[in-house]
């Protein structure tokens, strides 16, 4: 059985999520990786362990065009797979519609070639789905799988398939940042609305920088304009599974917890010892974030 994985390429660089999707997909069969980008991204993709072949295509970064390209490649593959990311959630349902296939989304475990585990009810339950279709369209949660380990030098094949698209790409506006990718970071520092301002979030960013961590935020903090939209963690934001999550001034609403269930250790900093986050945290520091966080940064910098 063969698998085609859609690589995540952002601004010319391969996302760390791709290595995790390849590792998960290798449980299903031999993996080819479709890279929409340049030769450098294709070479990075070819180095991922478990990749059999890289297909390099020049497609406009739009779901319409990408799903059209995947549709033309689909006859050679049993599984068509992408990360359950913004890109995957945009492309794969369109592909499934084009192929008249019921997709299985947000997979967190693969039990067998046609049995997949996925969360439901905002992560409060897990369901096992049996997919009897001859061809499968899947999205996989990168944070639920470890990255592929080891090296590789897979061949790169350049595709010349012309892809028709009704939409036209005009421009991409991106946030430039040297902060690690939130969806795959090993340490994440999250800030809540109690941080009080966009300026206050600089303290959260500083703690993140000291730890080499990604920075996340609650929806309340994002809605208040304190943090950018793509930092939102939770049911309607990013799903993360870091080794350590530090929740700063975050109450622990169900919708936020839905995004951090995969975190291995949780440290909460909160003035309220009764906050819901305190019930699931491994360590709770009770006190004012504006006193505790600077102390934490100073201690870490002294080490």
Binding residues for FAD: 218-219, 232-236, 249-256, 270
Residues 176-235 that bind ligand FAD (CB under 6 A): 192-194, 218-221, 232-235
Q: For residues 42 and 246, which CB has a smaller minimum distance to ligand FAD in the complex?
A: 246
Pick out the residues of the known binding site: 218-219, 232-236, 249-256, 270
Q: Closer CB to ligand FAD, residue 46 or residue 250?
A: 250
Q: 262 and 239 in contact (C-beta within 8 Å)?
A: yes
Report in angstroms how near the CB of residue 171 gets to ligand FAD at its nearest: 28
Nearer to ligand FAD, 67 or 251 (CB): 251
Least Cα distance to 18 among 140, 177, 180 occurs for: 140
Using the minimum distance from each CB to ligand FAD, give the nearer residue, 48 or 248. Answer: 248
Q: How many residues belong to the site for ligand FAD (CB under 6 A)?
A: 28
Task: Give 62 or 220: the residue with its C-beta nearer to ligand FAD.
Answer: 220
Burial class of residue 34, CB neighbours in 10 A (0-12, 13-18, 19+): buried
- Closer to ligand FAD by CB, 70 or 195: give it: 195
Among 87, 204, 227, 289, binds ligand FAD (CB under 6 A): 289
If binding is defined by CB under 6 A, does position 143 make contact with ligand FAD? no
Beta strand segments in the chain, E: 2-6, 9-10, 13-14, 30-36, 51-57, 79-83, 104-107, 109-112, 115-120, 125-130, 136-140, 156-158, 187-191, 214-217, 244-248, 265-270, 283-286
Question: Nearest distance from residue 128's CB to ligand FAD, in Å?
Answer: 25
With CA atoms as reference, report the closest residue to 69 among 83, 79, 55.
55
Rounded to the nearest whole angstrom, what is the least distance from the CB of residue 223 to ligand FAD in the complex?
A: 8
First to last CA, the chain: 51
Position 240 contacts ligand FAD (CB under 6 A)? no
In the three-class reduction of DSSP (H, G, I as helix; E, B as strand; rest coil), residue 45 is classed as: helix
Q: Is 285 in the site for ligand FAD (CB under 6 A)?
A: no
CA distance 139 to 99: 15
Q: How far is CA 65 from CA 40, 82, 112, 174, in A?
A: 22, 15, 31, 20
Displacement of CA 287 from its chain's centroid (Å): 32
Q: Applying CB under 6 A, which part among 10-18, 51-59, 63-71, 243-251 lies near ligand FAD?
A: 243-251
User: Does residue 123 belong to the site contacting ligand FAD (CB under 6 A)?
Assistant: no
Task: Show Cβ contacts of residue 133 under 8 Å, excluding neighbours closer than 6 positions.
Answer: 101, 102
Q: Of these, 165, 206, 255, 261, which contacts ligand FAD (CB under 6 A)?
A: 255
Q: Smaller CB distance to ligand FAD: residue 180 or 190?
A: 190
Residue with CB nearest ligand FAD?
234
Could you give phi then psi for residue 194, rounded to 5 degrees? -70, -10
- Positions touching ligand FAD (CB under 6 A) are 192-194, 218-221, 232-237, 249-251, 253, 255-256, 259, 269-272, 275, 288-290
């Amino acid at each position: 059985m063969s698998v085609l994985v859609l690589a995540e390429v952002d601004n010319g660089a391969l996302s760390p999520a791709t290595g995790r999707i390849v590792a998960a997909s290798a449980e299903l069969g031999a993996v080819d990786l479709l890279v929409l980008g340049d030769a450098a991204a294709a070479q990075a993709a070819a180095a991922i362990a478990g990749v059999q072949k890289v297909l390099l295509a020049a497609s406009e970064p739009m779901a319409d065009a990408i799903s059209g390209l995947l549709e033309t490649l689909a006859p050679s593959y049993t599984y068509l797979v992408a990360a359950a990311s913004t890109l995957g959630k945009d492309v794969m349902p369109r592909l499934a519609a084009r192929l008249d296939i019921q997709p299985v989304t947000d997979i967190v475990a693969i039990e067998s070639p046609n049995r997949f585990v996925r969360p439901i009810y905002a992560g409060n339950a897990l369901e096992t789905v049996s997919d009897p279709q001859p061809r499968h369209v899947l999205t996989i949660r990168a944070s639920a799988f470890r990255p592929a380990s080891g090296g590789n030098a897979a061949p790169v094949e350049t595709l010349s398939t012309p892809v028709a698209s009704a939409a036209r790409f005009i421009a991409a506006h991106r946030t430039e940042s040297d902060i690690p990718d939130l969806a795959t970071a090993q340490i994440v520092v999250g800030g809540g609305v109690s941080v009080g301002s966009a300026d206050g979030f600089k303290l959260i960013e500083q703690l993140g920088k000291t730890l080499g961590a990604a920075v996340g935020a609650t929806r309340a903090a994002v809605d208040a304009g304190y943090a950018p939209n793509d930092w939102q963690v939770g049911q309607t934001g990013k799903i993360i599974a870091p080794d350590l999550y530090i929740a700063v001034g975050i109450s622990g609403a169900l919708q936020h917890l839905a995004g951090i269930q995969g975190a291995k250790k949780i440290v909460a900093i909160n003035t309220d010892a009764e906050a819901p986050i305190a019930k699931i945290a491994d360590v709770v520091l009770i006190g004012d974030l504006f006193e505790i966080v600077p102390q934490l940064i100073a201690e870490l910098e002294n080490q």
